[in-house]
Structure 1
């Protein structure tokens, strides 16, 4: 009997694994490319929204051969995307807002998050969907939902519903925020601050603040990204709760603070150093969007439309109430600190 070559055994194991990943990776790449094309043709539809919708559609006829690759890529792309998200905001931009607005951001995010969870319980909405809506509406839309999903055992249907609700109510806010801002007599900075504090997605924030001019858009984006900073402690906190709730399997627990959350904070510090070229930031922003789009496409493929329709009614009510809550708390917080 001849001894087997270890290198041959290793390559023999890796090759089948690679072959199992390729169909899923190819499907995710195609779905992401189409989502990017939809966003280019219809800027009002974000690439993330298009990706999850395309994923849901593709998932109804998904070949079994693609599932391994999709599962592998979804988890990894999501976590790398969250890490890179940290490069979008430096500490100097946050401090430049002033302590009053920063306090308003923190208060609005916390009250909206906790309040939405409470409303979900009152309405009888599932814990997973309530958590996804609370996270997406209080922090940063689809990317926050995807990040929170990575530390919980949320059903894919709840993730997809959360993203759909962010899209629906965030799109409505694009029209309502400028209209209400004019009714309330808000100036450009006041309207920009309110848009950044109450609208869900970054792209939706820009659209909502645009009627008030460039100054409104500038402060709206900074306020919005300050909400994004709270993604790290929020995900870490929920991860800790989940760590205590889950049964211990083989003596192992999830990490106290996920590594991708630490990576997010590290990238914020890198951005704060002031040594990252603008050209690099532009490329990273595109890459981050692509990674999130790929991850959300993958999450969407696990959705079953029948279950999604059956759970949609109460979710719609929860989304509406959460939108009113963040708009009211955000406006009241800004008025309290004299930022309107």
Structure 2
């Protein structure tokens, strides 16, 4: 029986996975021809375009299982591999002042965005997913938070689209604002690292100002990435508490357990987030070869690219236009707040003469 299941699963999933792999290859080519467009951003856009084309229902049905595998399992593998980019030693070199400000920015923008989303009554888990994507690390954070909140793909797709939109706009907008704000290269790098969402978007934005800006931006950005595990764990605690309150209310109303539709909640810290933490510790304390780190980086971009294409392919432009207005408002407000707070942190660091900023 098991011998038959593997080929059957392969035949079912291979069309969608093959399509996601081809889309990633096309995204790499697009990024090579137009360096201002990060590969992962191109993957999301290609997925949205695929969903918008008038394919026959049989075509969509053929690729749907594989795209679902990409959107969920590959995204989680990408989160694990992201940990190999993060060394606690490099984070410590920023100093306590900068570290404290980065943590404060992440926490403030997360709960502010979450609150705005709830106030505007965003559907499903969109509030917490937008908060995670904009305050922590873009699509990777959205995927991690979706795992602990049991978010549907339809809830995940809109935040992915919005974080891609705002991050792409940042690539053009932030360098244009730099001379107006009077930021030197290191200060610009800190601003970019603290306010732009995905790692790829940070690299695309900061490299415009040179190697110094890029180096500072990446370290600051990866410090935000380090907040992924504690914020996901905190969200898991809140979600578990909400479940208990709901179950207690249903029990008080005399509803049988089977009528309440109780299901087992995922672990407060999902296994792939534990894998992320393990990868961080390995990168910090184990001497890894440059070849391994380069392979991990390429692997992470590959699986995340395929995952983001799968998520993009689940976005309906019509539904996004009809129902995404409130989510767009939340995203733009969150983006503005994190940009302002990050600029304030740069000014404080400048006034304090932080060594990490040169």
TM bucket normalised to smaller: 0.7 to 0.9
Query: Residue 43 of structure 1 corresponds to which residue in structure 2?
Result: 35
In structure 2, relative to structure 1, the CA distance for the partners of 1:221 and 1:291 (3 Å cut) is same
CA drift at 1:263: 0.7
Residue equivalent to 1:130: 127
Structure 1 match to 2:337: 325
Q: 1:126 to 1:63 in 2, by over 3 A?
A: closer
Does the 8 A contact of 2:81 with 2:276 survive in 1? yes
User: Distance between the aligned counterparts of 2:60 and 2:167, measured in 1?
Assistant: 33
Give the 3 Å change call, closer, same or farther, for CA 227–120 of structure 1 in structure 2. same
| Residue 223 in structure 1 maps to residue 230 in structure 2 | no
Q: CA 1:249–1:18 in structure 2 vs 1: closer, same or farther (change >3 Å)? A: farther
Q: Which runs of no fewer than 5 residues in structure 2 stay unpaired?
A: 248-259
Query: 1:14 — aligned with what?
Result: 6
Structure 1 range deviating more: 318-327 or 50-59: 50-59
Q: Which among 282, 296, 306 is matched to residue 270 of structure 1?
A: 282
State the alpha-carbon separation in 1 of the partners of residues 131 and 88 from structure 2.
25
Alignment pair present for 1:156 and 2:153: yes
Task: Give the aligned partner of residue 272 of structure 2.
Answer: 260
Corresponding residue number in structure 1 for 2:251: none
Q: Using the alignment, how far apart are the partners of 2:211 and 2:315 within structure 1?
A: 39
CA RMSD of aligned residues (A): 2.4
Q: Does 1:182 pair with 2:179?
A: yes
Q: Deviations over 1:23-82 (max 9, x none)?
A: 222222222222222222222222222222222333453432332333234322111111
Aligned 1:231-310 pairs, distance under 5 A:
231-245=228-242, 252-310=264-322
Are 1:53 and 2:45 counterparts?
A: yes
Contact 1:157 1:307 in 2 (8 A): no
The one-character-per-residue Cα deviations of 1:157-188 (angstroms, maximum 9, x if unpaired) are 44333223223322333343334443333332
* Residues 82, 119 of structure 1: alpha-carbon distance in 2 compared, 3 angstrom cutoff: same
3-state SS of 1:200 partner:
coil
CA distance in 1, matches of 2:185, 2:293: 27
Q: Decide whether the 8 Å contact of 2:147 with 2:270 is kept in 1.
A: no
Residues 55 and 298, structure 1, Cα contact 8 Å, conserved in 2: yes
Q: CA deviation at 1:296?
A: 1.5
Equivalent pairs counted in the alignment come to 332
Q: Which moved more, 1:77-86 or 1:271-280?
A: 271-280
CA distance in 2, matches of 1:291, 1:140: 16
Q: CA–CA distance in 2 between the matches of 1:273 and 1:322?
A: 35
* C-alpha distance 317-252 of structure 1, shift in aligned 2 (>3 A): closer
Q: Does 1:316 align with 2:336?
A: no
TM-score norm. by structure 2 comes to: 0.84
Runs of 5+ in structure 1 lacking a partner?
Answer: 1-8
Q: Could you tell which deviates more after superposition, 91-100 or 280-289?
A: 280-289
1:140-172 CA-to-partner distances (Å, cap 9, x unmatched) read 122222332233333434433322322332233
Question: CA–CA distance in 1 between the matches of 2:269 and 2:170?
Answer: 34
Alignment of 1:82-231 (within 5 A): 82-231=79-228
